Chains A and B, each alone.
Chain A
């Protein structure tokens, strides 16, 4: 079945630094990628949607200059958290959707980000 590989699984970084999270679709072409954020004991909230080769569409309240999303190829999407702060500490998870007839969502395993 479809597999999305997400790296790193966890990362600890210092305040003010940037962190890049990668999601790769291993056996299908991800035409659309969704990025979610989940705070402890809360639900998954969509941050942005990106289509290959296009700029990401951000949800209301999500700072696009802080959370940079790149979806330059059909198998790779990245989320970069710039100038990270402790309040950015969260669980980030990507979800990919493939070809024309794909209405499913394949999720990565998630990245737990801790900013100290």
Chain B
């Protein structure tokens, strides 16, 4: 069975600090996708990244970066120089790399950036 664990329930930092959100996953599949989503208070899910299990290259997008390590089954997300607008709940998710497969979500990490 697939499982995603986000051990950090809540994180609170001061603006401009760097913050890392942890994600550990379990799957028996050799091919899978990993995702990160942002959920602001309005509720909609904002797609941040999708990573194929064969691609272990780290990714950087502006202030966001992701570190994928298959050896530790982790897909961590770092926000550099955090801003108040980054405050939201962040979800890590996993799916099999086949069509019509459900997304399995972690419990989410509530990130609060204080001014």
Q: What is the interface of chain A, defined by CB distance below 8 A to chain B? A: 31-32, 34, 41-46, 49, 51, 91, 93, 95, 97, 100, 102-105, 107-110, 112
Alpha-carbon distance A95/B102, docked complex (angstroms): 10
Alpha-carbon distance A46/B42, docked complex (angstroms): 20
Contact residue among A43, A49, A107 (Cβ-Cβ distance under 8 Å from B108): A43
A-B contact pairs, 16 of them (CB 8 A): A44-B45, A44-B91, A44-B105, A46-B103, A49-B100, A51-B100, A93-B45, A97-B100, A102-B99, A103-B95, A103-B97, A105-B47, A105-B95, A107-B45, A110-B43, A112-B43
Alpha-carbon distance A45/B91, docked complex (angstroms): 12
In the bound complex, do residue B99 and residue A105 qualify as a contact, i.e. CB atoms below 8 Å apart? no
Inter-chain contact total with CB atoms closer than 8 Å: 55
B107 CB within 8 Å of chain A: yes
Residues on A with beta carbons closer than 8 Å to the beta carbon of B105: 43-45
In the bound complex, do residue A104 and residue B102 qualify as a contact, i.e. CB atoms below 8 Å apart? no
From residue 32 to 59 of chain B, which have CB atoms closer than 8 A to chain A?
Answer: 33, 35, 42-45, 47, 50
Alpha-carbon distance A41/B105, docked complex (angstroms): 13
In the bound complex, do residue A100 and residue B99 qualify as a contact, i.e. CB atoms below 8 Å apart? yes
Contact residue among A51, A95, A100, A110 (Cβ-Cβ distance under 8 Å from B103): A95
Residues on B with beta carbons closer than 8 Å to the beta carbon of A112: 43
Contact residue among B91, B99, B102, B108 (Cβ-Cβ distance under 8 Å from A46): B102
From residue 68 to 88 of chain B, which have CB atoms closer than 8 A to chain A?
Answer: none
In the bound complex, do residue A34 and residue B99 qualify as a contact, i.e. CB atoms below 8 Å apart? no
Residues on B with beta carbons closer than 8 Å to the beta carbon of A93: 43, 45
Contact with A along B101-115 (1 / 0, CB 8 A): 011111110100000
Given A34-B102, A110-B45, 12 extra CB contacts under 8 A? A41-B110, A43-B105, A43-B107, A44-B45, A91-B43, A95-B103, A100-B99, A103-B50, A105-B35, A109-B43, A110-B43, A112-B43
